[in-house]
Amino acid sequence: MKNVAVIGAGTMGNGIAHTFAQKDYKVQLIDISQTSLDRGMATIAKNLDRMVAKEKITEADKQQTLMNITTHTSIAEGVKGVGLVVEAATENLALKLRIFKELDSLCAPDTILASNTSSISITQIGAVTSRPEMVIGMHFMNPVPIMKLVEIIKGYSTSQETYKTVEELSKKLNKVPVEVNDYPGFVANRILMPMINEAIETLYNGVAGVKEIDTVMMLGMAHPMGPLALADFIGLDVCLSILNVMYDGFKNPKYAPCPLLVNMVMAGKMGSKSGEGFYDYSENRRAEVVSSQF
């Protein structure tokens, strides 16, 4: 399995493509937008330049990694001859189901179909295909080239053979695979998102300010980044989507998103990617200046 396809050239997709290509896999990076593909490749090149500057790789390594990636705006063209597809499209159920139906019809019968979803049911995704035993979750962490963890999510019908193949593949990428069963939020987000939501509730209720909440968690709990800065980094729209999936899945009020988070997303305040969330990113990409909203 040396040929893989990655669907989506956004933050996660280009990171996944980078990671496979750096380990000398041939990667077909697919996105419906040529602009997104160009932006994704520019990000990969920039991240590789940073690694060269830190002497972690050579210039030749960088060039080989870039040569290992081919871009496509057509799924049909991009998935020809691949042994694995990793879907990293927007966290939207209807979109993912549509993509997997299409992949099922286009890919060879022995191609494994994986999703990088952070919360959506792998069982539900697999059910729209004729190969649910070959559908699996590969939830990489952001930034993908740096973070070691891969949550491997087994759907209800995922075969042990598929799981073992993906587990070994993850190890070849120098990642640490962790087996997780298919329940809303899996492990990472089932624990992380309620913490982020509670931090937003703490702000919403006026207990403390943005910097104060983040400082308590960094200095008191040894977190490398405060929960509000982390929410901005992830994307407030993504946080809201994951919380909604968990709330719908469990019907437990502890997963209900804070009204402040809902309002911020409706107002277009998505975090660092939109230029403003709990912090203001108009002058600096780092979470240093608290948004004027707070």
pLDDT of residue 285: 83
Domain that holds residue 279: 189-289
Query: Which pLDDT band holds residue 269 (cuts at 50, 70, 90)?
Result: very high
At which of 181, 199, 216 does a domain end? 181
Q: Does residue 151 carry a catalytic annotation?
A: yes
Catalytic residue among 72, 151, 170, 276: 151
Question: How many C-beta neighbours within 10 Å does residue 132 have?
Answer: 22
Residues 125 and 59 in one domain: yes
Looking up residue 152, the CATH number of its domain turns out to be 3.40.50.720
33 plus 128 within the same structural domain:
yes
Pick the last residue of a domain from 158, 181, 204: 181
- Distance, in Å, from the CA atom of 4 to the CA atom of 65, rounded to the nearest integer, reads 14
3 carries an active-site annotation: no
Same domain, 65 and 131: yes
Q: Are residues 165 and 45 in the same domain?
A: yes
pLDDT digits (tens, 9 = 90+) for 173-213: 999 999 999 999 999 999 999 999 999 999 999 999 999 99
Catalytic pick among 68, 87, 116, 139: 139
Q: Is residue 111 part of a domain?
A: yes
CATH number of 206's domain: 1.10.1040.10
Pick the catalytic residue: 189, 197, 272, 291?
Answer: 189
Instruction: Kindly name the residue from 68, 115, 118, 119 that is annotated as catalytic.
Output: 118
Digit-coded pLDDT (tens) for 36-69: 999 999 999 999 999 999 999 999 999 999 999 9
Residue 84 has pLDDT above 90, yes or no: yes
- Number of Cβ within 10 Å of residue 39's Cβ equals 15
| Whether residue 201 is found in the same domain as residue 170 | no
In a domain, 50, yes or no: yes
277 and 252 share a domain?
yes
Q: Is 139 part of the annotated catalytic residue set?
A: yes
Q: Give me the mean pLDDT over the 125-140 stretch.
A: 98
| Residue 294 counted as domain residue | no
User: Is 215 in the same domain as 107?
Assistant: no
Q: Is residue 137 part of a domain?
A: yes
Q: 20 pLDDT exceeds 90?
A: yes
Q: Which domain-ending residue is among 157, 181, 205?
A: 181
**Tens digits of residue pLDDT in 219-264:** 999 999 999 999 999 999 999 999 999 999 999 999 999 999 999 9
The average confidence (pLDDT) of the chain is 96
Q: Are residues 47 and 132 located together in one domain of the fold?
A: yes
Residues 193 and 171 in one domain: no
**Do 136 and 282 lie in a common domain?**
no
Determine, yes or no, domain membership for 159: yes
Asked if residue 82 is part of any domain, the answer here is yes
Same domain, 209 and 231: yes
Same domain, yes or no: 226 and 131: no
Number of domains the chain contains: 2
- Residues 102-124 have a mean pLDDT of 96
Token output for 131? 């190969």
Question: Is 133 an active-site residue?
Answer: no
